Chains A and B, each alone.
Chain A
Amino acid sequence: MLSRRTFIKAGLLGGIALGAGGVWYGATRESAPAGHLPGSTRAMFAAITPVILAGSLDEGNGPVERVVDGVERAVAGLSAAAQSELGELFGLLGFYPARLLLTGIGDWRLATRAEIEAFLDGWRLHRIALMQGAYAALHDLVLGAWYAQPESWETIGYPGPPEVK
């Protein structure tokens, strides 16, 4: 688990990095075809999805993949400005030094649930608004992508839309 101090430090540096438009990591940023997320971003979502949806999502990779696909579709529908801001955030989270600094996580595939929870909780209540906003974006994208899918509805008793004929 990360200590509170690490977060404060990371937040400060992270704030600067995000605020500067992420110029310094730009060179290493992966690109992906329009409407798709780079592999490193998909890996990040694949890691945080089971944590954000703990208690709702069944174990197994199938639903996680479908949530990540849903995130990809949702991002493609956002404004160009929001997509480019998210691109910066995803770029940072896919770039090892920035990720380590901001989240304490080295490799998404090796991160434990506790580590991911700690980073999400740290951002959620962070004193820097940028970090809180970044948490909110991850929160909305993952939850929205899951609860948009009929397979999630049975877990909450939602019968789905009625038939209109």
Chain B
Amino acid sequence: MTIRDPMGDGIAAGWKVLDASLPDAPRALEADVVIVGSGAGGGIAAEILTAAGLEVILVEEGPLKSTRDFRMREAEAYPHLYQESAARKTRDKAINILQGRCVGGSTTVNWASSFRTPASTLAFWRERFGLADYTPEALQPWFEMVERRLNIGPWQRAPNTNNTLMRTGATTLGIPVGEIRRNVRDCWNLGYCGMGCPTGAKQSMLVTTIPSALGRGAMLIHRLRAERLVTAGTRIDALECVAMEADGVHPRPIRWTLRARHFVLAAGAIGTPALLLRSKLPDPHGLTGARTFLHPTVVAAGRFAKAVHGHAGAPQSLYSDHFLEQLPIDGPLGFKLEVPPLHPVLFSTTLQGFGDEHAASMREFTHTHAQLALLRDGFHPQSHGGRVALRADGTPLLDYPLNEPIWEAAARALLAMAEIQFAAGALSVQAVHEQCRGYTSWPQAKEGIARLPMKPLLTRVVSAHVMGGAAMGASEATGLTAPDGTLRGVDNVSVFDGSVFPTSIGANPQLSVYAVAARNASILTSRMTGKPAPPLA
């Protein structure tokens, strides 16, 4: 079986890769384009810009870890590869947010599920945000291009038991279930995508676009945090950065200054708006960081007589959009059903309670099947999402008040998942909620869940999908960025990441980030070179 580690190989061959935690002197560098963030948007942009012959510097706050470093251990993966050690919280601590913070960004740790942007989401963007060019037809070539590049296709193996049980239950109830496409090549079906793929099978930015950009002479600087953009009139003159300690937590007293003709911001939702806020750029409508969406996610765990082994096998291979399609997009929040991979730390900390109660649930670890309901936020008139602000030390903090439309949907979703789990043969089901002691039948769950108070910190809410905060829109009043991702009010900045979405996606967002970044990076490239942009490899 194949193991691919193009970053490890390339560094050995002399690629330009700098670790800012090492040198003790300030540095000044220059390129045609500086890209901030090496995740989904930054990776795609780097490949397109370098293919056109532009000189690129890629700045990444997190460390460079690649295939041979990934040992499938939560104790290493979370502190090394995730923002705030996978414990990033909203202001009131009611939502735990998973986001990547490493070379490759969230694509290094994501679960490889690949969905095109739903047509209904695009229709909403055209209607409410004037994004007239965002039709499924116009985006199709961009989807096809990134799908080819990242080998996105049907999953060739049988779904693992964790996924199969969702299908069994749903099918019994007449709820349709679909198959998830994945961005993998020669996947070993291990199930550790969330800790960095140890075989290089997952076609994250770490094994695709970043190596190709570096192979063409781009420079990657990791453990370097972009601090602020410095203006000179209506142009951005430089990006000031601060080197990070190897621990990834503390900034060092060492500054780097990067100059470029153009700056691409791809620090992800939360990250990009935070950089803009620190830069104090003009924002007459107060849009920076506003409308940040999360697909707030609730969880239900079912115990089965047979072994499930939710830690093993491709984490996500089946889904159901049944509850997204039942109601109008701006009505009560719909939700997408999926399953999460189950690993000891993530599962034990998500699960409510302590002591004997918790230990009893953990003893059923290998017999547990869990489901996730991803709530589609940002469409309902009262679903405004959250707002990014800065702490005194300049780091971002997302304030996301969980309000009535979210709670109404959360209760519906917990019910739906419990019903499916019992239909699949669950012996018992736990809604992940501080006051739920578990149910042993569907009638009991139906009554019990209806009585659970839907409140912050009682109902467990998590997110791995951060979107928005620098939304595109046709007008200055609705779009901090224009429909091609350029930042309004300055001449030479573009945003190519998940922060440009004006609502949540209503599906796992990576493919939306890739396609929109490919489109907008190509527009920028042809503007900078006067020639059509070359396609992705």
Asked if B199 lies at the interface with its beta carbon under 8 angstroms from chain A, I say yes
Q: How far is the CA of A143 from the CA of B345 in the complex (A)?
A: 7
In the complex, per-residue mask of B360-372: 1 if CB is within 8 Å of any chain A CB, else 0? 1011011000000
Report A-chain residues with C-beta under 8 Å of the C-beta of B92.
129, 133
B250 adjacent to A139 (CB under 8 Å):
no
Contact B355 A136 (CB under 8 A): no
Measured between beta carbons, the chain B residues less than 8 angstroms from A100 are none
In the complex formed, the residue of A with least CB distance to B3 is A164
Given contacts A53-B359, A162-B190, contact A80 B345 (CB under 8 A): no
What sequence of 0s and 1s flags, for each residue 138-165 of chain A, a beta carbon within 8 Å of any chain B beta carbon? 0110111011110011011110011010
Instruction: Please tell me if B22 contacts chain A, counting CB pairs below 8 Å.
Output: no
Q: How far is the CB of B78 from chain A (nearest CB, A)?
A: 7
Q: Is B188 at the interface (CB under 8 A from chain A)?
A: yes
**Restricting to A104-146, which residues have a CB under 8 Å from any CB of B?**
117, 120, 124-125, 129, 132-133, 136, 139-140, 142-144, 146
- Besides A162-B312, A164-B199, 6 new A-B residue pairs in contact (Cβ under 8 A), listed by A number: A77-B79, A83-B249, A132-B458, A152-B344, A156-B363, A162-B190
Chain B hits for A147, CB < 8 A: 74, 344-345, 347-349, 362
> Which single residue of chain A is at the shortest CB-CB distance from B249?
A80
- B71 CB–A CB distance under 8 Å: yes
Do A54 and B199 touch (CB < 8 A)? no
User: How many residues on chain B are close to A (CB under 8 Å)?
Assistant: 51
- B348 close to A78 (CB less than 8 A): no
A149 CA to B74 CA, complexed, in Å? 9
Return the contact of B75 from the options A125, A132, A136, A148 (Cβ within 8 A): A148
What are 27 A-to-B residue pairs whose CB atoms are below 8 Å? A53-B355, A55-B358, A55-B359, A56-B362, A70-B75, A73-B79, A76-B249, A77-B79, A77-B248, A78-B87, A78-B249, A79-B85, A80-B249, A80-B393, A82-B84, A120-B354, A132-B458, A133-B457, A139-B354, A143-B345, A147-B345, A147-B347, A147-B362, A158-B311, A158-B365, A164-B72, A164-B190
B72: chain A residues at CB < 8 Å are 161-162, 164
Q: Which residues of A contact B441 (CB under 8 A)?
A: none
The answer to the question of A18 belonging to the interface, with a C-beta cut-off of 8 Å to chain B, is no
Over the window 429-448 of chain B, the binary record of Cβ atoms lying under 8 Å from chain A Cβ atoms (1 yes, 0 no) is: 00000110000000000000
Q: Which residues of B contact A20 (CB under 8 A)?
A: none
Number of residue pairs A-B, CB distance < 8 angstroms: 130
B391: interface (CB < 8 Å): yes
Known contacts: A54-B359, A77-B85, A125-B434. The answer to whether A158 contacts B345 by CB under 8 A is no
In the bound assembly, the distance between CA atoms of A153 and B366 in angstroms comes to 11
A17 CB–B CB distance under 8 Å: no
Evaluate whether A144 and B355 lie within 8 angstroms (CB atoms) in the complex, with A77-B85, A158-B366, A164-B199 already known: no
The A-contacting residues of B in range 19-78, CB under 8 angstroms, are: 71-75, 78
A81 touches B393 (CB 8 A): yes
- The answer, yes or no, to whether A12 is at the interface (CB within 8 Å) is no
B456 within 8 A of A: yes
Q: Whole-angstrom distance between the alpha carbons of A139 and B345 in the complex?
A: 12
Task: Digitize A45-76: 1 where CB-to-B-CB distance is under 8 Å, 0 elsewhere.
Answer: 00000011111100000000000001001101
Interface centre among A77, A139, A155 (most CB of B within 10 A): A77
Nearest CB of A to B62, in Å: 12
Measured CA separation A40–B477 after assembly (Å): 53
Residues in A neighbouring B358, C-beta threshold 8 A: 52, 55-56, 143
Asked if B133 lies at the interface with its beta carbon under 8 angstroms from chain A, I say no
Query: Which 4 A-B residue pairings sit nearest by Cβ, starting from the closest?
Result: A55-B359, A161-B72, A77-B79, A147-B344
Tell me which residues across on chain B come within 8 A of A76, comparing CB atoms: 247, 249
